[in-house]
Amino acid sequence: MLPLEGKTAIITGGARGIGAGIAAVMARQGARVAILDLDGEQAAATAATLPTPGLGLACDVIVEDQLREAVRAAVDALGGLDIMVNNAGAGRGPVDLSALPAAAAGGGRVEDMAPAAWDEQLAQNLRSTFLGTKYALPYLKQRGGAIINIASIAALQAAPTLPAYAAAKAGVISLTKSCALEYAPFDIRVNAICPGFLWTRAWEGMAAMMQRTVPRFAGLSPRDIFLEVVKTGVPLGREQTPEDIGELAAFLASPAARNITGQAIAVDGGITLR
């Protein structure tokens, strides 16, 4: 029997990147998966590639009514809910970060940051997790299950160039711990994963910004800049992948992790050891 056979999962922001990696691994382990994403067409396309029955739904996860209705529709289609993965966050839309000044994109020093950029980062990365948790809980309380929140290694270290993003992801870890304690009596386990360096749309945008602003990267492509950062910044010397995150997410959702809750686990090749 596969570890997640008979389980149902909702993954926000699952059309591509980390979310798609989580969906692929969970489906391979037997789960039926619903993908919620701003890009409903790509969500459906990704769901169609999975080896178990699934669906893709268009949804802006920071809009309360949209998320509530999408969760309800997914639960109705899949026949219940066992696993909620709050993955949607920065990079959730087709924003070209390379074309924006750092402060407007949610980076840069606090004193230079536009308050609207701060608010947007908190909405994308913390409000989205709060709403996903809020609307999954009534279903999870019926039979227990797992909530997996995607945080970041930025939440575990000082991140002076990404203060809003780091603060939001630190909030995700705090929310994870609070919910783990509050809902333990319902046999709901809540954990967070802190990914390291993955080649996603968000990292592509950051690398393009670095290409414009860091002289030593001026002659490199965004992908080469990313690989240079990996080489110098990751003790194990290799990038992390969406499937790496998916393997841990699937484990945390499985019976093998039945006594693990309230944890924030880094999948970072050792970055946070320095």
In this structure, of 11-15, 80-84, 86-90, 123-127, the range with the lowest mean pLDDT score is 86-90
Read off the tokens for 165: 């993003």
Q: Does residue 95 have a pLDDT over 70?
A: no
Read off the pLDDT of residues 185-216 as tens digits, 9 standing for 90 and up: 999 999 999 999 999 988 898 899 899 999 99
Residue 235: what residue type?
P
pLDDT value of residue 1: 87
- Residues near 133 by Cβ (< 8 Å), separated by ≥ 6? 84, 86, 147, 149, 175, 179, 190
- Write down how long the chain is: 274
Segment 148-166 mean pLDDT: 94
Q: Where do the H-state alpha helices sit in the chain?
A: 17-28, 40-48, 64-78, 115-122, 128-143, 163-182, 201-213, 222-233, 242-253
What is the residue extent of each domain of the chain?
8-95+120-197+241-273
Rounded Cα–Cα distance for residues 151 and 42 (Å): 23
pLDDT value of residue 90: 66
Catalytic residue, chosen from 135, 139, 165, 183, is 165
Verify whether residue 165 is a known catalytic residue: yes
Segment 92-116 mean pLDDT: 58
Q: Does residue 100 have a pLDDT over 70?
A: no
Q: Does residue 91 have a pLDDT over 80?
A: no
Residue 204: what residue type?
E
Confidence of residue 97 (pLDDT cuts 50, 70, 90): very low
Burial environment of residue 246 by CB neighbours within 10 A (0 to 12, 13 to 18, 19 or more):
buried
Rounded Cα–Cα distance for residues 186 and 182 (Å): 9
Rounded Cα–Cα distance for residues 14 and 34 (Å): 9
Q: For residue 1, count other CB atoms closer than 10 A to its CB.
A: 6
Structural Rg of the chain based on CA atoms: 18
CATH dotted code for 8-95+120-197+241-273: 3.40.50.720
- Comparison of pLDDT for 100 and 165, the residue scoring more: 165
Q: Which of 259, 152, 267, 24 is nearest to 9 (CA)?
A: 24
Read off the tokens for 100: 């924006």
Distance of CA 215 to the CA centre of its chain: 31
Read off the pLDDT of residues 10-64 as tens digits, 9 standing for 90 and up: 999 999 999 999 999 999 999 999 999 999 999 999 999 999 999 999 999 999 9
What's the chain's average pLDDT? 93
Q: Where do the H-state alpha helices sit in 49-155?
A: 64-78, 115-122, 128-143
